Amino acid sequence: MNQRTADIEFTLEPTDLRRLSDLCGPFDENLKHIERRLGVEITHRGHHFRLIGPNHTVAAVQNILRDLYVETATVRGDQGTIEPQQVHLAIQQAKVLEQDDSDPAAEKMTHIKTKRGLIKPRNHSQAGYVRAILAHDVNFGIGPAGTGKTYLAVACAVDALERQEVRRILLTRPAVEAGEKLGFLPGDLAQKVDPYLRPLYDALFEMLGFEKVEKLIERNVIEVAPLAYMRGRTLNDAFIILDESQNTTMEQMKMFLTRIGFNSRAVITGDITQIDLPRGQRSGLRHAIEVLSKVDDISFTFFQAGDVVRHPVVQRIVQAYEDFDSQQKHGD
């Protein structure tokens, strides 16, 4: 057996069939949730469990199951079932999803499988970004155009949906770029903002195919909507992507971040060098970086000009602008 793989067995005590049923959930749904999130195979015969998976993960899963089993003793009757959000919180508290960048095996975990093929990060920053998305519920990807921020986020969302880790994907983007011109565009609000959501559609079409995306949109499994539509909603069991977040106001960013519900993951992407808000209005993304930088379980990935994976001239253009801005600041 691979030295990085562990196979352990243990027994939950004391024996209590009601508590065991509460732990496992209907049709072992709680155990399946842990398997999907952590990549560990869980089998059991009564109270005797067997775990097979990565060495650093199986011990954590054993502790999670023991802790949840203890929780079943504190309640009785119909209220005894362990809820999905309790499983979700137990996984987060164990911090088992956090990967060590020095581990060679961690690089393989950044490969994203879709039905159209395998998507591999093209540099260290992209690999770290994918690992952060897998390990945290709220993730910020910040940097210039062409670094793969949105594309990789959509890939992770598609992967999570196909693994049944989430029930739906929600993609949103502010329409601030259009400003007052928005009113002169033909159609209703959804049609007016559609051009600004096009990059998200394109990534979905590439990974899933046009027909499947259309069917999933019809069933509301995939929802693509302007940020204004998020107010007043609570989003559970969803993978949520906020693109072009540099064009949110501080109020909009706070509103979006407080929409996140149980078993949901959010990725916020943006480029703080391309803010299109009216002069004097502060970017919600800039503000969030300051406010949330020390909050646990939130990750920030900052891309540089060297991480651009488009045409080589794009990388040189981005670098030239960064050098110019740096000279201007020093000149001031």
Domain parsing of the chain, residue ranges: 5-94, 104-331
Count Cβ atoms within 10 A of the Cβ of residue 148 and give its class: 0-12 exposed, 13-18 middle, 19 or more buried.
Answer: buried
**Residue partners of 272: CB distance under 8 A and separation at least 6:** 142, 246, 283, 285, 286, 289
Q: What's CA 58's distance to the chain center, in Å?
A: 23
User: Is the confidence at residue 178, as pLDDT, over 50?
Assistant: no
Supply the mean pLDDT for the chain.
Answer: 81
Fold of 5-94: Ribosomal Protein S8; Chain: A, domain 1 (3.30.1370)
Name the CATH superfamily for 104-331. Answer: P-loop containing nucleotide triphosphate hydrolases (3.40.50.300)
Query: From the CB of residue 104, how many other CB atoms can be counted at a distance below 10 Å?
Result: 7
Q: Give the C-alpha separation, 309 to 289, whole Å.
A: 24
229: tokens are: 């539509």
H helix or E strand, kind and range, residue 105 = helix 104-108
- Mean pLDDT, range 21-33, rounded to an integer: 89
Task: Check: CB of residue 211 under 8 Å from CB of residue 311.
Answer: no
Looking at residues 308-319, what average pLDDT do you find?
Answer: 71
pLDDT band at 319 (very low <50, low <70, confident <90, very high): confident
Pick the closest to residue 21 from 63, 59, 78, 60 (CA basis): 78
Q: What is the pTM of this model?
A: 0.67
For the segment 210-249, what is each residue's pLDDT rounded down to a tens digit?
A: 899 999 999 999 988 888 888 878 788 999 999 999 999 9
Measure the CA–CA gap between 326 and 311, rounded to whole angstroms.
23
Question: Does residue 179 carry a pLDDT above 50?
Answer: no
Highest mean pLDDT among 60-69, 167-176, 224-233, 319-328: 60-69
